[in-house]
Amino acid sequence: MHNSTKFTPAPNIAFLPFNDTGVLFATGTRKIWVLNTTAAIAWCLLEEGENFGQILNFFSKNFRANTLTHETDINTIINNFETEGLLGPGLIVDRKPETLDIKARETTLDNKNIQFVWQKTFELPEILFRVSAVSLSLGREIEKSLVNIISKDKDSQPAATISILPNENQKNKFDIYTNHELYHSALPFKSTLPVLMNLIYMISSRRIKDKLLFHAAAICKDKQVVIMPGDSGKGKTTMTAALLTKGFRYLSDEIALINPNTSKVYPFPLPLSIKSGSLPILKKYYPDISDYQIFQRLDKKQVRYYPIAEKNIIPLHQGYPLKGIIFMNFDKNAKTALAELDNLNALKLLVKTCSSNRPLGVQDVEGLLKLITRTQCHSFTFSEIEESTKLLEHI
């Protein structure tokens, strides 16, 4: 790379310092990059208009290493910036609002004469929604699963409606409509509730404007919250269910809602989503869990939806301060180990779980950085649930 070569940071990329490193994010999107110290300094020099030779000279004067090492490192960093679309014109950002995956929009309920035999209104943060069904057995399964979010508001009109009807062409199959438009068609009974759960999540999360969403379980004890981020299969639900029998209260199994300004966490109390692998472990804590209907998600995984005992539920609009973040990892062959994480590694892991359905602004990312710096963060590898719950009870 020639010494006189200059690189221009993309106009929609913002930089925020973080300890002795930094974070880049594309304004108006949900894209965030965590930089190491060398990359953070290189970015700041690029923003000041320095060319490649001037950046190389800065590192040679201020850091111990030979010129060839610096040149290789800076080349790699700048190439990575270019690959990620952080230089030049920048990322092509689609600023159109996201929409639900509505199928066949010309198919609506407007001209259908329907007699619903079951109907309930439910409440999640920022939204009331009504679910109606012509199948009483399906309606009862929905009510059984969503009992924790049945609305007590008798006066307000729901912001969204969901209707479940028999498919007109295929026997024992169901169509789901949202706000009178077809969302999904020809679902077997055993897959209707999983698709409904996903739709409820999408409708609800799109209306949450003032909080960040993370793919994490959230539990509370002594009015302090611990969130447990992790991908599917990492043990979030199993650990959450077990800890609820140890004096913890429930905020969420899948989504942690965090106010970036106050670091308070709020409930999103959809039921526990119990997969087949967790069943043998959780029967010890919940003897009736086998009595719940088995459903099949569209990815073919089997699941039971298990509601939370009333004593473990936190009121929907009650937020509590975040005490800790524990990144979960179930490994049946590993020893149970709880290890403290430094801020940079914790941030890298947390960014991967951010699932907010709205564009992030500077205030959001600043809140995320503050969240990390004032919160205890740990990685937790476990293989045996009883030993693990005893350890986490005192976090």
pLDDT in tens, 14-33: 999 998 899 998 887 778 89
Q: 287 and 310 share a domain?
A: yes
Q: 268 and 199 share a domain?
A: no
What whole-number percentage of the chain has pLDDT above 90?
60
Q: Are 188 and 173 in contact (CB under 8 A)?
A: yes
* Distance, CA of 196 to CA of 146 (rounded, Å): 11
Of residues 67 and 154, more confidently modeled: 154
Q: Are 149 and 123 in contact (CB under 8 A)?
A: yes
Q: 269 and 362 share a domain?
A: yes
In a domain, 106, yes or no: no
* Distance, CA of 222 to CA of 233 (rounded, Å): 28
Q: 239 and 258 share a domain?
A: yes
In a domain, 268, yes or no: yes
Say what the pLDDT of residue 118 is. Answer: 96
Say what the pLDDT of residue 141 is. Answer: 96
Handedness of CA 315, 260, 353, 91 (dihedral sign): positive
The answer to whether residue 330 scores a pLDDT higher than 90 is no
Q: 197 and 151 share a domain?
A: yes
Under the banding of pLDDT at 50, 70 and 90, the label for residue 356 is low
Least confident span in 51-55, 63-67, 139-143, 281-285: 63-67
Q: 381 and 264 share a domain?
A: yes
Least confident span in 1-15, 41-55, 241-255: 1-15
pLDDT tens column, 130-152: 999 999 999 999 999 999 999 98
In a domain, 253, yes or no: yes
Say what the pLDDT of residue 93 is. Answer: 47
* Distance, CA of 125 to CA of 29 (rounded, Å): 22
Where are the alpha helices (H) located in 171-286, listed in sequence order? 189-205, 236-243, 279-282
Cβ of 169: how many Cβ atoms within 10 Å?
9
Helix (H) or strand (E) holding 209: none
Final residue of a domain: which of 154, 184, 205? 205
Q: 172 and 189 share a domain?
A: yes
The answer to whether residue 358 scores a pLDDT higher than 90 is no
* Distance, CA of 278 to CA of 179 (rounded, Å): 35
* Distance, CA of 102 to CA of 92 (rounded, Å): 25
Three-state SS at 164: strand
175: Cα separation from own chain's centroid: 27
In a domain, 198, yes or no: yes
Query: What is the identity of the amino acid at 100?
Result: L
In a domain, 4, yes or no: no
The answer to whether residue 103 scores a pLDDT higher than 80 is no
The answer to whether residue 96 scores a pLDDT higher than 70 is no
Residue tagged 């060398």 (tokens)? 38
Q: 335 and 227 share a domain?
A: yes
The answer to whether residue 98 scores a pLDDT higher than 50 is no
Cβ of 338: how many Cβ atoms within 10 Å?
14
The answer to whether residue 99 scores a pLDDT higher than 70 is no
Q: Are 274 and 284 in contact (CB under 8 A)?
A: no
Under the banding of pLDDT at 50, 70 and 90, the label for residue 94 is very low
Give the orientation angle of helix 37-47 with respect to helix 52-62, to 10 degrees: 130
Mean pLDDT confidence for 2-9: 87
Say what the pLDDT of residue 313 is. Answer: 95
Summary mean pLDDT of the chain: 88
CA within 13 Å, CB half, 218: 28
In a domain, 233, yes or no: yes
DSSP character for 326? E
Say what the pLDDT of residue 79 is. Answer: 93
Q: 222 and 365 share a domain?
A: yes
Final residue of a domain: which of 175, 205, 235? 205
DSSP character for 15? E
Helix (H) or strand (E) holding 89: none
In a domain, 276, yes or no: yes
The answer to whether residue 167 scores a pLDDT higher than 80 is yes
pLDDT tens column, 223-236: 999 999 987 778 89
Under the banding of pLDDT at 50, 70 and 90, the label for residue 90 is low
Q: 374 and 244 share a domain?
A: yes
The answer to whether residue 106 scores a pLDDT higher than 70 is no
Cα dihedral 380→386→391→394 (10° resolution): 120
Of residues 209 and 116, more confidently modeled: 116
The CA-to-CA distance between both ends of the chain, in Å, stands at 51
Q: Which domain holds residue 240?
A: 212-392
222's torsion region: left (phi>0), alpha (psi -120 to 50) or beta? Answer: left
Final residue of a domain: which of 180, 205, 230? 205
Q: 31 and 156 share a domain?
A: no
In a domain, 108, yes or no: no
Q: 181 and 274 share a domain?
A: no
For the domain that residue 324 is a member of, what is the CATH number?
Answer: 3.40.50
The answer to whether residue 351 scores a pLDDT higher than 90 is no
**Total domains, the chain:** 3
